[in-house]
Amino acid sequence: MSDPTRPEPRDHKIAVDTAAKMLQRHRKGTRKARGAQTEDGAHGGVFSKAAILELLQQPGAEYMRFYYAKGDDGKRAVVLVASDANLQDMASADSLVLDMHFPCPPFCSPGDGALNV
């Protein structure tokens, strides 16, 4: 019997073309009118591998949760926190929690990659 307080295991993988279509739908809603530059971070951002691994290597970490947030400056932010096997955020005073990603734009994938739509 499934536990309604825990998500069922799932394969989080999706096809690149599915991801590209999802990103394209999102980006259509974030572009500013009349050729104005899109707001920094409107499309996403980048975290380093080292930071993600450090987050997930904390003792007891089983999941990574993200929260949409806003910084003191009002700009978009994403907060990453490890969660334990019971889906409890590991957010004590000594836990590692991440923000300070490199926003896209301006730190987007260069060129015409499959997801750079």
Would residue 82 count as lying in a domain?
A: yes
Q: Which pLDDT score, from 0 to 100, does residue 45 have?
A: 82
- The predicted model gives 49-71 an average pLDDT of 93
Rounded CA-CA distance 60/32 in Å is 43
Residue 34 lies in a domain: no
Residue 48 covered by a domain: yes
> What pTM was computed for the model?
0.75
Segment 65-116, tens digit of pLDDT: 999 888 888 887 889 999 999 999 999 899 999 988 888 778 878 776 667 6
Measured CA to CA, the distance from residue 117 to residue 115 in angstroms comes to 6
* Residue 99 belongs to domain spanning: 40-109
Answer whether 15's CB lies under 8 Å from 111's CB. Answer: no
Q: How many domains does the chain have?
A: 1
Q: Indicate if the pLDDT at residue 24 is higher than 70.
A: yes
In a domain, 20, yes or no: no
